């Protein structure tokens, strides 16, 4: 009987770990943004500040909200990714698990190597974006390939195109940004920010598209799978 209950438990643990992880990061980011005072004393804006600036201990007086949230969220992200891996049926899942787990590990490293340690932080951050890109692509491909026969609806796979496109756009603009760093142009922008700066805005688009997508995945797991599995288990017990 215990083995029959395991799918429902896996679904519940997977969904809850995903929601908990990204709730932690969102709350930590909002708290750090609320108390933020930048290089010139400016308030935080999603239109022209990078996410990582929330964790900069030199300029963000309450950076620990964001950094601690990243450190704590890494483990539930890995639990979430492991749960997703176990629920997928396509063979693509074997390729998914590596970048999926790396996303959680890199989240912890981003909390430890905050942006005031810029050289290593930027390397870890770019690895994180690439891990998220690969895991999102593989999950979407696996779900679409399963054709609604597994635990996920195909539309969740199609919806994954939005964060994937946001990540690709961000990485493309980031490549140009890194080249401009050589002439100091973007360092000056940190002190004389335009009202709208495309690169940090794209980074926030990645964040919001990912958490919205993951919330949809978790909500779908809870609403459409747990209830039906529990109902089936109760019928089997009565029989």
In a domain, 94, yes or no: yes
CA 159/CA 73 separation, integer angstroms: 24
Q: Given this model, what pLDDT does residue 181 score? A: 52
In a domain, 49, yes or no: yes
Q: Given this model, what pLDDT does residue 41 score? A: 86
Domain count across the chain: 1
Angle between helices 198-221 and 118-146 (to 10 degrees): 40
**Single pTM value for the model:** 0.87
In a domain, 235, yes or no: no
pLDDT tens, per residue, the chain with 239 residues: 444 446 778 898 999 999 999 999 999 999 999 999 888 889 999 999 999 999 998 888 899 999 999 999 999 999 999 999 999 988 899 999 999 999 999 999 999 999 989 889 999 999 999 999 999 999 999 999 988 777 899 999 999 999 999 999 999 988 777 655 544 445 667 778 888 999 999 999 999 999 999 999 999 998 887 666 666 666 666 66
In a domain, 238, yes or no: no
SS3 assignment, position 11: helix
Distance of CA 233 to the CA centre of its chain: 33
CA 96/CA 138 separation, integer angstroms: 6
> Burial level of 170, CB count in 10 A (0-12/13-18/19+)?
buried
133 close to 171: Cβ distance less than 8 angstroms: yes
Range of the domain at 69: 2-226
In a domain, 10, yes or no: yes
């Amino acid at each position: 009987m215990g083995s029959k209950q395991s799918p429902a438990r896996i679904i519940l643990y997977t969904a809850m770990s995903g929601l908990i992880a990204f709730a932690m990061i969102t709350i930590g980011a909002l708290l750090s943004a609320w108390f933020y005072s930048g290089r010139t004393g400016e308030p935080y804006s999603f239109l022209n500040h990078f996410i990582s600036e929330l964790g900069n201990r030199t300029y963000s007086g309450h950076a620990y909200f964001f950094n601690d949230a990243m450190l704590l969220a890494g483990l539930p992200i890995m639990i979430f990714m492991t749960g997703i891996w176990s629920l997928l049926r396509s063979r693509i899942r074997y390729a998914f698990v590596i970048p999926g787990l790396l996303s959680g590990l890199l989240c912890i490293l981003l909390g430890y190597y905050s942006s005031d340690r810029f050289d290593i932080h930027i390397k870890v951050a770019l690895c994180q974006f690439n891990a998220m890109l690969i895991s999102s692509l593989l999950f979407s491909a696996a779900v679409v390939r399963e054709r609604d026969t597994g635990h996920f609806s195909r539309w969740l796979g199609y919806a994954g195109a939005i964060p994937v496109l946001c990540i690709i756009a961000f990485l493309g603009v980031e490549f140009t940004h890194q080249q401009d760093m050589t002439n100091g142009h973007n360092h000056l922008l940190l002190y004389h920010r335009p009202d709208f700066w495309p690169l940090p805005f794209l980074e926030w688009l990645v964040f919001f598209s990912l958490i919205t997508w993951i919330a949809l995945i978790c909500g779908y797991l809870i609403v459409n799978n747990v209830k039906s599995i529990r109902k089936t288990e109760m019928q089997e017990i009565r029989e």
